[in-house]
Amino acid sequence: MPDTTSQPIISGHPRCVLVKPSQRSRNGQETARNVLAFFIFAIALYTIHGFLPALVWGGVFAIATWPLYTRAQAAWPKAAQGTMLPFLFTAAMALIFVIPMMLITLEAVGEAKSALSWLEQARQNGVPVPDALSRLPFGSQTLTNWWQAHLSNPEDVSNLTGALDSKGMSITKALGSQIAHRGTLFCFSIITLFFLYKDGTSVIRQCRVASRRAFGKRGETIARQIVASVHGTVLGLVLVGIGEGALMGIVYSFAGAAHPALFGVITAVAAMIPFCAMIAVGLVSLLILVKGASIAAIVTFCIGAVVIFVADHFIRPVLIGGSTQLPFLWVLLGILGGAETWGLLGLFVGPAAMAALNLLWRRWTAGNNAIEA
């Protein structure tokens, strides 16, 4: 008679036994689960890939302002428990971008009306040679002769503007579609920012758990390095750029430039990309020179060159690279390479990627005695 004392009895049948899955079976199940998880992740990522820039922008805004938001949470705990504080911070962030854009748009509309009126007069009467050409320090006669040959005759102006009309229509349509697309992404970024403010503590906890499970303690260290890089980039690019634009706006006003506030905003935006602010400063200096104020134009250009040199070579490397121990070359490569690859978003993604790479490099070259974050 067979011995069934060691066999588990299920539903009263002594011969029905539980068989533990083999190691090969467990490995197959684990592989199948990983493949399924990867497939679900890929499908979800492909579904929202058009909104990924908006999600990243929302994350950048949240990371940049999170220290300020946590202070507000501590100061107003009741407002932080509901949606009031997240809504106020989100509205403030939206206004920071919307108000300058509205001012630029209103200024551009006013200038467009003046430009259309001037263009209609030019088609009827031609464009007379401006007096400023005669006051140029060099090339005055050459430019005067070219102007008389191509712009003084109304027929030449009509032919020139007629050729540009068809191109202008296509450019206007493309510009309109881009404005609509960018506006949609901006709205979605603001919505993302609201929910990150509202559920930020839970999101941070979940990210830490996921990072620990996937990469161990070093994964959290890399995440902290990326966050520090985003903070440094915001300080080094955005705040320094705003400071440059404000300072140069004051200089433009004293130099007698047209629309100094508008050109100050343009300089601030251009200054967020290293070495690009000189384009705006050079343009304003040229406009001042055309008005006949040669000394003011030279002084404006020199002051702008000094301000940009100090900001790009001394202030920004300290703010961006100081918090992450990132060399200036890596900072520069991250900013320029990120801007070329990802556009405006790359100004923040590039330095963050280079900061993470620099941390991995330092750990790999220093071994187990690497600096802990």
9-63 tens-digit pLDDT: 444 555 555 445 566 777 777 788 888 888 898 898 888 888 888 888 888 888 8
- Distances from the Cα of 342 to the Cα of 198, 286, 362, angstroms: 28, 31, 26
Q: Binning pLDDT at 50, 70 and 90, where does residue 354 land?
A: confident
The residue type at 183 = G
pLDDT on residue 364: 80
Q: Taking a C-beta distance cutoff of 8 angstroms, is the pair 237, 316 a contact?
A: yes
Q: Binning pLDDT at 50, 70 and 90, where does residue 306 land?
A: very high
User: Is the predicted pLDDT of residue 182 greater than 50, yes or no?
Assistant: yes
User: Is the predicted pLDDT of residue 8 greater than 70, yes or no?
Assistant: no
Q: Binning pLDDT at 50, 70 and 90, where does residue 224 land?
A: confident
Percent of the chain with pLDDT over 70: 73
Q: 183-187, 269-273, 324-328: which range is least confident on average?
A: 324-328
User: Is the predicted pLDDT of residue 131 greater than 70, yes or no?
Assistant: no
Cβ atoms within 10 Å of 143's Cβ, excluding its own: 16
Determine the Cα–Cα distance for residues 234 and 336; give it in Å rounded to an integer.
Answer: 15
pLDDT on residue 371: 44
pLDDT on residue 226: 81
pLDDT on residue 185: 85
Mean pLDDT of 224-243: 82
pLDDT on residue 133: 65
* Structure token digits, residue 248: 């140069």
Q: Binning pLDDT at 50, 70 and 90, where does residue 73 land?
A: confident
The residue whose two tokens read 């029905």 is 16
The residue type at 370 = A
Mean pLDDT of 83-100: 86
pLDDT on residue 126: 67
Mean pLDDT of 229-238: 80
The residue type at 282 = G
Alpha-helical regions (H) of the chain: 23-47, 52-75, 77-81, 84-125, 140-150, 154-198, 200-215, 217-233, 240-255, 260-271, 277-290, 294-310, 316-322, 328-342, 346-366
Rg (CA), the chain: 30
Average pLDDT along the chain:
77
Q: Binning pLDDT at 50, 70 and 90, where does residue 367 land?
A: low
pLDDT on residue 302: 92
pLDDT on residue 303: 92
User: Is the predicted pLDDT of residue 146 greater than 50, yes or no?
Assistant: yes
Determine the Cα–Cα distance for residues 148 and 16; give it in Å rounded to an integer.
Answer: 105
pLDDT on residue 373: 44
Determine the Cα–Cα distance for residues 63 and 349; give it in Å rounded to an integer.
Answer: 12
User: Is the predicted pLDDT of residue 130 greater than 80, yes or no?
Assistant: no
User: Is the predicted pLDDT of residue 324 greater than 70, yes or no?
Assistant: no
Mean pLDDT of 119-138: 66
269-282 tens-digit pLDDT: 888 877 788 898 99
pLDDT on residue 9: 46
Determine the Cα–Cα distance for residues 159 and 104; give it in Å rounded to an integer.
Answer: 31
Domain residues of the chain, as ranges? 48-198, 217-373
Query: Computed from CA positions of residues 363, 368, 369, 373, in that sequence, does the dihedral angle turn out positive or negative?
Result: positive
pLDDT on residue 132: 64
pLDDT on residue 136: 64
Determine the Cα–Cα distance for residues 24 and 22; give it in Å rounded to an integer.
Answer: 5
Q: Taking a C-beta distance cutoff of 8 angstroms, is the pair 226, 88 a contact?
A: no
